[in-house]
Amino acid sequence: MEFGESSAANPSQEIVWAKLVPSDSRYSEVELRLDEMVICSDVMFPSFDKQEWCKVTRNSDQCSATIQNKSSNTILVDEVAIPSEDSIVIKCGSEIIPGPKNEGYLSYRFEVMSPQESIKEQLKICLDVEHAKCSICLNIWHDVVTVAPCLHNFCNGCFSEWLRRSQNKHSNVLCPQCRAIVQFVGRNHFLRTIEETILQADPSLRRSDEEVAVLESHASIQSNLVLKTGTKLGRKRAHSSLNEESEELEFPCPQCGAEYAGFLCNPNTVHLQCHACGGMMPSRNDIGVPQHCLGCDRAFCGAYWHTQRFGGSDSHPVCCHETFKPISDHTISRIPTLAHENNWHEQNITERCIRQMGKTLQDVISELLIRLSNREIDRTRMQLNHSEMITASTYVCNECYDKLVSFLLYWFRVSMPKSFLPPDASKREDCWYGYACRTQQHNEEHARKRNHVCRPTRGSNM
């Protein structure tokens, strides 16, 4: 048996499977590393004297434990008094007070670590920095893009400039590194993470702000681009006979074979692939309708083909206009399932608040959009790209609209006086971890018992 120590002590080689987290951030967490541990930690405040007061034994289900009172006093577990030497089962989120009353004693919360959190060893990847350099500018990638089929990587700005020049002079775009014909180019978010890790490890490899600004001014690749080559491109159409080979369509998009709204693709036209339907459309910056969702940078064709007066065909299906439109044109009648971090208890409270005010969800969102456009709402927590550029007239996809609504409903709740909440909700105490609490995802009792539509007071820098 081993005495538990706070996380401020030297850690052992065992993996932490659970913690006792004190309510007062001045005190250290108690890490549980063995299946059975006697806890010796802070008990009363403002004293910092450690005392042996309980034994925690991990249960076979791996997600609960049994706590035995080893002190001479009664302790409280979820408001239940536990006499000396008695035991009780605790689960993730259980509140433990190492004394007979709340006053003068610290409060601990029992937290079970997920397998990912409990494993301290991290996978380390050795990478030669020379393999993370753009062969055009010979510097570490910036906003890295990958071309196919050769899979070489370049800075977005560098390759965008190469692409523009190649299209003006040649029928095909060649890879700057191996001279293979490029058929596809897209941003590589995985390599971008590696790019950032390298620059954090060696800041001397960073470019100047002026160089970065020039690169970003040249960058034009937002989502996946499909490039026309000397060979036929497009989606395949199967013959009725299984023995016959599939043949490729001559035209990847409707405007490659026919003129719509005064536009016809030329041999060098770059195409975007719609994220929703997989169809192709020409990449254009001479029209008043965006082709990329500002919230996720993905391409959507619904708005484009609507302006081109093309409603789709058997060989070229296109998205409905409703899949991609201005925020102000979206309507909503139910709270998105991802609102309030998927906590349906909080969603239910928000719905009751709206009904109590005599409004609809659409009324509330419309009012909040006005506040957002007037810069009255802090956008820090908005889980959308280019959040500072979002207005009611911004085109977004349905998925990003749900994220925006969830963000606005958070501000609807945190700015609401507690007296406006339903009586059962107003009596709840705030969770220490607020919206960032992971326990609410798997502990129904904790999700219901504590308010999670609030800012974290510990365990997060957000």
Regions of the chain where pLDDT drops below 50: 1-3, 5-12, 118, 120-122, 231-249, 460-462
What per-residue confidence (pLDDT) applies to 419? 86
pLDDT of residue 228: 65
* Distant-in-sequence, close-in-space partners of 380: CB < 8 Å, separation ≥ 6: 462
Tens of pLDDT, residue by residue over 359-373, are 999 999 999 999 999
Q: pLDDT at position 32, please?
A: 92
CATH fold label, 18-123:
Tumour Suppressor Smad4 (2.60.200)
- Contact between 339 and 406 (Cβ < 8 Å): yes
CB 390, CB 398: distance < 8 Å: no
Res 207: pLDDT = 93
3-state secondary structure of 332: coil
pLDDT of residue 234: 41
* Number of neighbouring beta carbons within 10 Å of residue 234: 19
Q: Distance (Å, rounded) from C-alpha 353 to C-alpha 364?
A: 11
- Residue 117 confidence (pLDDT): 53
Domain boundaries, the chain: 18-123, 129-226, 340-449
- Which residues, 6+ apart, have CB-to-CB distance to 154 below 8 Å? 134, 135, 136, 141, 144, 145, 147, 162, 176, 177
Tell me the CATH architecture of domain 129-226.
2-Layer Sandwich (3.30)
* pLDDT value at residue 6: 43
398-402, long-range: CB < 8 A, 24+ apart = 398/322, 398/323, 398/330, 399/296, 400/293, 400/294, 400/295, 400/296, 401/295, 401/327, 401/330, 401/332, 402/336, 402/338
Q: Angle, to 10 degrees, between the axis of helix 344-356 and the axis of helix 361-373?
A: 90
| pLDDT score, position 16 | 85
How far apart CA 249 and CA 234 sit, in angstroms, is 5
> Rounded to an integer, what distance in angstroms lies between the CA atom of residue 22 and that of residue 29?
6
